[in-house]
Structure 1
Amino acid sequence: MKTNWIRANKGFLMFVLLFGVFRTAVADWNPIPSASMRPNLLEGDVVFVNRLAYNVKVPLTDIVLQRTGEPARGDIVTFSSPADHTRLIKRIIALPGDTVAMRNEQLFINGRPVDYALLDTVSEPVGKAGQITVQQVRESGNGRSRQIQLLPQIAARRDFAPVTVPADHFMMLGDNRDNSADSRYFGFVPRELLIGKAEGILVSADILHGWRPRLDRFGMALQ
């Protein structure tokens, strides 16, 4: 009986197998469950992840077969947390060999300060804290810039002494600097734990307000 069922459904089973290999080795999608990457990624966004951007891996493992590209500062990446292997999405702030420090929220990379320009001040809900003031800021350095946000009213880790990123490791920070568990808490991320590069938003729904589709975010590229 079981053998007959397998024979009758072998086309479907082959599709499921190939789809599983594709998703674990070639491309994937990643729902955004938290606010750690605001304002660039919102809760309810679903991002496209290119799993071949940096490495070819044995499916379902962290075994790297071939390097296909080099991660760059500013890339948004998915990776397994070195603390508990939870899948996370953050931004690469520093590369192997970089020396990084943070003083009163300002980053210094290889001794050079990163520039900041205030864009806007808005109010948004932040967990149990309720509505708080949020500063949206343009962060520029090393030839790249992105929008981040700061939450002055929230207790956060805004300072750390200079550290040097080890070989084949990366420093990750969330764009929502004061509301992100990142390398300030779990340390550097080994290259083999990188899953892929987040390249764009596939679809988006406002999960905080009845799952309304955010059509303006469909197909949006990431900076």
Structure 2
Amino acid sequence: MKNWARANKGFLLFLMLFGIFRTAIADWNPIPSASMHPNLLEGDVVFVNRLAYNVKVPLTDVVIGTTGEPQRGDIVTFSSPKDGTRLIKRVIALPGDRVEMRNERLVINGQPAGYATLGRGTETVKGLGDLAALHIGETIADARAHSIQLMPEVQARRDFAPVTVPAGQYMMLGDNRDNSEDSRYIGLVPRALLIGRAERVLASADITGNWHPRTERFGMSLYQPTP
């Protein structure tokens, strides 16, 4: 074993440095589901800035310092408070915010979000087939406008009573509002579970179809203006 380690010390050093880089500095996150449609697609691989909010001990989740605060509208990766699964959602409400949802429409600190219809389409849902989808522009308080998707034929939690977000926690929602397991189901997300801020699409392939690369998405920023 010692001889093997000595003969492969360069490779072992590479693995160690690679692990440090991925767990402390930057990472990439494959998108496996439709929960962030229409902005993220299955088969996208997004770049995640792990230094956006915290500095952690390499190869651990131990926070040793903070570098910034999550902002409303950020797309973040985090560990689910329910079962530890890595998820990617959008920050909707910050600590101290009072937020509610009425028939898919958000109200934050007494201010209704703005909504504008952008278009219509269809989405294939396993077990349900092709369903109608609405693309909506959503503007929340001081955040940049972004697109969301609604699917009226799907059973979903479209309302919740007012809740005040406690200190050190965040409300996360998927952009595909009627097909996302987010804070409506898993609860609010403590800051300690945040992993990083998703910045852009590194690469993309149509994994639900023919696996062809979607080159038009390579390098695409996740914070482009809403049409």
Q: TM-score range by the shorter chain?
A: over 0.9
What 5-or-longer segments of structure 2 have no aligned partner?
Answer: none
**Partner-residue secondary structure (3-state), 1:96:** coil
Q: Does structure 1 conserve the Cα–Cα contact (< 8 Å) formed by 2:19 and 2:59? A: no
Distance change >3 Å, CA 60–CA 14, structure 1 → 2: closer
Shift of 1:60: 3.6
User: Are 1:25 and 2:24 matched, yes or no?
Assistant: yes
Cα distance in 2 for partners of 1:97, 1:86 equals: 26
Q: Equivalences for 1:68-217 in 2 at 5 Å?
A: 68-143=67-142, 144-217=144-217
The 10-residue stretch of structure 1 (106-115 or 122-131) with the greater mean CA deviation from structure 2: 122-131
**Partner-residue secondary structure (3-state), 1:148:** strand
TM-score by length of 1: 0.98
Cα distance in 2 for partners of 1:198, 1:30 equals: 8
What 5-or-longer segments of structure 1 have no aligned partner?
Answer: none
Cα distance in 2 for partners of 1:142, 1:103 equals: 16
Cα distance in 2 for partners of 1:100, 1:213 equals: 39
**Partner-residue secondary structure (3-state), 1:24:** helix
Q: Tell me the amino acid that sits aligned with residue 215 of structure 2.
A: L
2:222 match = 222
Q: How many aligned positions are there?
A: 222
Shift of 1:163: 0.1
Shift of 1:62: 2.8
CA RMSD of aligned residues (A): 0.8
Cα distance in 2 for partners of 1:14, 1:197 equals: 27
Shift of 1:58: 1.8
Shift of 1:124: 2.0
Report percent identity of matched pairs: 68
2:38 match = 39
Detail structure 1 runs of 4+ shifted over 3 Å in the superposition: none
Cα distance in 2 for partners of 1:18, 1:112 equals: 47
Q: Tell me the amino acid that sits aligned with residue 151 of structure 2.
A: L
Cα distance in 2 for partners of 1:9, 1:62 equals: 28
Cα distance in 2 for partners of 1:148, 1:64 equals: 32
